[in-house]
Amino acid sequence: MNRAEIFSRQSGMTLAGAAAQTTKPLVLAIGVFDGVHLGHRKLLDTASALSAELNAVPVALTFDPHPRSVLHPAAPVVLLTDLAERVRLLKKYGAELVASVDFTADFAATAPEEFLDMLFENIPQLAGVVVGSQWRFGAGGSGNVQLLEQYAAQHNFVLKAVPELELDGAVVSASSIRNLIAGGRLQAANHLLGRSYALTGTVANGFGIAGSNLNCPTANIVPTAGVLPPDGVYAGIVEVALECYPAAVNIGLAPTYHRSNSQRRIEAHLLDFSGNLYGKQVRLTLGCYLRSEQCFASENALREQIAMDVKNIRSWAENLI
């Protein structure tokens, strides 16, 4: 396999492409970075500080798809962020450039020394590398920080191995954040993320009942990535085309109308919005949990409950300002 090919990626900037963006030295922060949580941001902060010392450009190197989804296809990872959202967050929190490696079975079989050689072939101006102190790489996870230290000494670049971030006595990790969200502990998840949790997705055709029967049109959001919290009604913010709208968000089975439907859905009623959202990319930030999902005896009862929900969401949104 050609070493340049192993770093190629159709849906993101290649490593060589990132190197070609500048003649300055580059500092590389390496990780999967799913969720870009506070632990990841510690790596980005370290890369930014090292870049300032070396008059270099901080670059984040991520992997897609998630390595566990390739190595253990029977148990794929439910991502917190898709690649596009990950790139946006990495740039927001310090990376000037982001490169993506296509993680394949062939790539997973690459020897760690060969992986490091490929870094140098693709980034001739590599001046620094920042990784987590427990990071493993190469076939079977046989590469570690000790190997990186030897390689850094031989090739004259600076290595920064960043200890794992601990909050409240536990390591901050994407897996722990996934578990917190799935368990409905959004505030605890937000604490580890360092921001409010958000899903990304595309608006698709729904059943059309809420708009026609209840005068409460909803956007049926099909997530491109994100862990769903427990079923229920939430206050949220929907961002579309750089505009943000408070929203009543129902996650679940819509039992009043679809008692036999077993597919969970995300339906968001955007307050004070008019227009067509079909096919639009949106970001849904989940706020507070309002109530459980219910099967109402009549449309009038559901309509009255929706009015109460909207009132509570307006109050919640006003407190955000």
- What are the residues whose beta carbons fall under 8 Å from the beta carbon of 148, sequence distance 6 or more? 116, 129, 131, 159, 161
Are 85 and 225 in contact by the 8 Å Cβ rule? The answer is yes
Beta bridge partners of 286: 236
Looking at residue 5, what is its pLDDT?
47
Please tell me the predicted confidence (pLDDT) of residue 120. Answer: 87
Output the tens digit of pLDDT for each of the chain's 321 residues.
445 445 555 456 787 888 888 889 999 999 999 999 999 999 999 999 999 999 999 999 999 999 999 999 998 899 999 999 999 999 999 999 999 999 999 999 999 999 999 888 888 899 999 999 999 999 999 999 999 999 999 999 999 999 999 998 899 999 999 999 999 999 999 999 999 999 999 999 865 555 444 456 789 999 999 999 999 999 999 999 889 999 999 998 876 555 555 678 899 999 989 888 999 999 999 999 999 877 766 777 778 888 888 898 998 888 775
The one-letter code for the residue type at 287 is: G
228: phi then psi, degrees, rounded to nearest 5: -85, 135
> How confident is the model at residue 261, as a pLDDT?
54
User: What is the value of pTM for the model shown?
Assistant: 0.89
Which pLDDT does position 15 carry in this prediction?
79
Long-range contacts of 93-96 (CB under 8 A, 24+ apart): 93/36, 93/40, 93/41, 93/44, 94/41, 94/44, 94/45, 94/47, 94/48, 94/58, 95/29, 95/44, 95/47, 95/58, 95/59, 95/60, 96/57, 96/58, 96/59
Q: What is the pLDDT of residue 148?
A: 96
